[in-house]
Amino acid sequence: MSLTDLRLFGRTGLKVSPFTLGTMNFGVRGNTSHEDSIRVIHRALDAGINTVDTADVYSKGESEEIVGKALEGRRDDVILASKFHGNVDGNPLHQGNSRWWITRAVEDGLRRLNTDYLDLYQVHRPEAQTDIDETVGALDDLVHQGKIRYYGTSVFSPGELLEAQWSAERRSLSRSASEQVPYSLLIRGIERETLPIARTVGLGVLTYGPLAAGWLSGKYRLGAGQPESQRADLIPGRFDVDAPHNADKLRAADALAVLAEESGLSLIHLALGFVLSHPDVSSAIIGPRTLEHLESQLGAADVELSSDILDRIDEIVPPGTVFNERDTGIVRDAIANPALRRTVSA
């Protein structure tokens, strides 16, 4: 396998590279140099990556602007994906999954990306208070208007994935084509239901976080102390190696690092090779901030893990394992809100 060995994107007939370039780390929240960020994007494209993923909330639209600059003269050879849902500018109306916002958000995104159309437009997060019929209907209209080629979802629950499919099918609308979801050696929850559903209904699967937000960088080892993380302030406690709720994850990360060493691989290559080894994964999103980060990951497309190594991985982190609910990408209201779990007596 190599970066030029394209993989089918669900049942769309579209062919994507094993890696997708994620651009969350370009702009004010990551690499603040547009020139450096553009160099990373060009290097990824030159290496054979043909799919680029961004979102309107990444650096409040700045990431999309950087991508738009980088793709000048190269747009026709790139599968360009973006996402909507989150708030970009502080206006409470400028967010969500309603038709009102979708029709506004797509125009803003197209302008920032300097393009006439998106190949894939994704619902960044589900929204319980918005009828899925509203969202699917608006996205189907954008397909017919030629502003998007396909639409997809991100971190939808298994039930929400099927609900979106049913909403489109019963009204003879274009169906959701993909799901974007976290997946790594340390975050294997999607193996339970999401990936089997994707296989059954023909969804393309874009996975993100193959390095588990840095836990699989090789820095998180038993006895090594607390690594520095630029994301530590964003999610308090998620990266604390001394926290009891992270103890099992830290032990697993250390054991996986030992396995990588014994296998003659870097932990980064083991982690990326694992994600690509799943037959239902269409493409793994990598999110380098610098050229150095990118170069450390590109070679993993050539890694093929043996059955013995995959069995060892399953012994360390059993299939379907999730150490912390936050690692799944979204904490469901039914879990976070006690009022939704308890009957209040009169």
Catalytic residues: 58
Closest CA to 267 of 279, 258, 276, 275: 258
Phi, psi (deg, nearest 5) at residue 206: -100, 120
- Strands 7-8 and 15-16, by their bridges, are antiparallel
Phi, psi (deg, nearest 5) at residue 63: -60, -45
Calpha distance 18→205 (Å, rounded): 11
In 85-235, beta strands by DSSP E: 118-123, 148-154, 178-182, 204-208
Whether residue 284 contacts residue 44, with contact meaning beta carbons closer than 8 Å, is answered with: no
Calpha distance 298→48 (Å, rounded): 10
Residues 6+ apart with CB under 8 A from 323: 186, 187, 246, 248, 249, 252
Residues 6+ apart with CB under 8 A from 2: 18, 48, 301, 302
Is residue 180 helix, strand or coil? strand
Whether residue 272 contacts residue 300, with contact meaning beta carbons closer than 8 Å, is answered with: yes
Phi, psi (deg, nearest 5) at residue 137: -60, -40
